[in-house]
Structure 1
Amino acid sequence: MKVVFISNYFNHHQAPFSEAMYRLTKGQYWFIATEKMTEERKSMGWGHEQVPGYVLESFSSNENLRKAKELILESDVAVFGLHGWSNFQLIQPRLKRHKLTFRYSERIYKGGIKWYRLPVQAVKLWLVGGRYDAMNMLCASAYTAQDYARTRSYVNRTYKWGYFPAAKRYDLDELMNRKLSAASGGEHPKASILWAGRLIAWKHPEASVELAAALWEKGYAFNMSIIGNGEMETQLRSMIRERKLEECVEMLGAMSPDEVRSHMERADIFLFTSDFNEGWGAVLNESMNSGCAVVASHAIGSVPFLIRDGENGLIYHNGNQKQLEERVCRLLDDGEYRRKLAREAYHTISGEWNAECAAERLLLLTGTLKAKGKAQCPFGEGPCSRATVLPNDWYHGE
Structure 2
Amino acid sequence: MKFLFVSNYINHHQIPLCEAIMRIIGDENFIFVQTQPMEEERVRMGWGVDVSSLTYLKIYDNDKIFTLNAINDFDVVMLGWTENDEVRGACLKRADSGKLLLRMSERIYREGQWKAISPKGLISKYKEHIRFRNKKVYMLCNGAYVASDFALIGAYPNKMFRWGYFPEYREYTKEQMRNMKRMEDNKTPRILWAGRFMDGVKHPEFALELAAYLKEKNYSFHIDVVGDGEMGDDLHYYVDENRLTDVVTFHGFLPPSRVRQMMEEAHIYLFTSNNLEGWGAVVNEAMNAGCAVVAGSMAGAVPYLIKDGENGYIYNAEDLQSFLNKAEDLVRHPSKQQKFGNNAYNTITSLWNSNIAARRLIDFCTAMLKDKEYIVPNDGPMSYAPIIKPYINPEK
Relative to the length of structure 2, the TM-score reads: 0.94
Q: Distance in 2 between matches of 1:79 and 1:323?
A: 39
Q: Deviations over 1:155-201 (max 9, x none)?
A: 221111001100111123322232126973xxxx2110000000111
- The residue number in structure 1 matching 2:41 is 40
After superposing the two structures, state which structure 1 stretch, 199-208 or 80-89, moved more: 80-89
Given that 1:172 and 1:343 are in contact with CA atoms closer than 8 Å, whether structure 2 keeps it comes out as no
Distance 1:206 1:137, change over 3 A: same
- Farther off after superposition, 376-385 or 12-21: 376-385
1:224-274 per-residue CA deviation (whole Å, 9 max, x = no partner) reads: 000001001111111111111111011111101001001000000000001
Partner of 2:390: 392
The C-alpha deviation readout for 1:12-56, integer Å capped at 9, x for no partner, is 111000011111111211101111222122111122445311111
For 2:374 and 2:19, the matched residues in 1 are separated by 27
Counterpart of 1:80 in structure 2: which amino acid?
L
SS at match of 2:156: coil
Structure 2 residue identity aligned to 1:380: N
In structure 2, runs of 5+ residues without a counterpart are none
Give the aligned partner of residue 112 of structure 1. 112
For the pair 1:167 / 2:169, whether they are aligned, the reply is yes
Identity among equivalent pairs (%): 36
Residues 182 and 10 from structure 1, CA distance in 2 versus in 1: closer, same or farther, beyond 3 angstroms? farther
In structure 2, the partner of 1:273 is 272
Secondary structure class of the residue paired with 2:90? coil
Total equivalences in the alignment = 390
Runs (4 or more) in structure 1 with deviation over 6 Å come to none
Equivalent residue letter for 2:3: V
Q: Distance in 2 between matches of 1:213 and 1:4?
A: 50
CA distance in 2, matches of 1:74, 1:66: 12
Counterpart amino acid of residue 306 in structure 1: L
The structure-2 alpha-carbon separation of the partners of 1:183 and 1:193, relative to structure 1 and needing over 3 Å to count, comes to farther
Alpha-carbon shift at residue 376 of structure 1 (Å): 5.1
Residue of structure 2 in register with 1:81 after alignment: 80
In structure 2, relative to structure 1, the CA distance for the partners of 1:99 and 1:382 (3 Å cut) is same
SS at match of 1:11: coil
Q: Does 1:209 align with 2:208?
A: yes
Contact 1:211–1:321, Cα closer than 8 Å, also in 2: no
Cα distance in 2 for partners of 1:161, 1:296 equals 19
* Counterparts of 1:149 and 1:121, CA distance in 2: 15
Shift of 1:116: 7.4
Q: In structure 2, do the counterparts of structure 1 residues 77 and 368 end up closer, same or farther at CA, with 3 Å as the change threshold?
A: same
Q: How far apart are residue 396 of structure 1 and its match? A: 3.9
**Residues 183 and 192 in structure 1, CA contact (< 8 A), matched pair in contact too:** no
Other-structure match for 2:6:
6
Alpha-carbon RMSD across the aligned residues, in angstroms, is 1.8
With 327-336 and 205-214 compared, the bigger mean Cα shift is at 327-336
Give the Cα–Cα distance (whole angstroms) in 2 for the partners of residues 183 and 33 of structure 1. Answer: 47
Q: 1:334 Cα shift?
A: 1.6
Structure 1: stretches of 5+ with no match in the other structure: none
Alpha-carbon distance in structure 2 between the residues aligned to 1:114 and 1:129: 18
2:141 aligns with one of 128, 134, 139:
139
Letter in 2 for 1:170: Y
Matching residue of 1:176 = 178
Letter in 2 for 1:42: V
Q: Cα–Cα, structure 1 residues 115 and 56, in superposed 2: closer, same or farther, change >3 Å?
A: closer
Question: Residue 308 of structure 2 contacts residue 394 of structure 2 at CA under 8 Å; is this kept in 1?
Answer: no
Structure 1 Cα separation of the partners of residues 14 and 282 of structure 2: 14
1:20 aligned residue? 20
Question: Shift in Å at residue 372 of structure 1?
Answer: 4.7
Contact 1:12–1:49 (CA under 8 A) maintained in structure 2: no
- SS of the aligned residue for 1:216 comes to helix
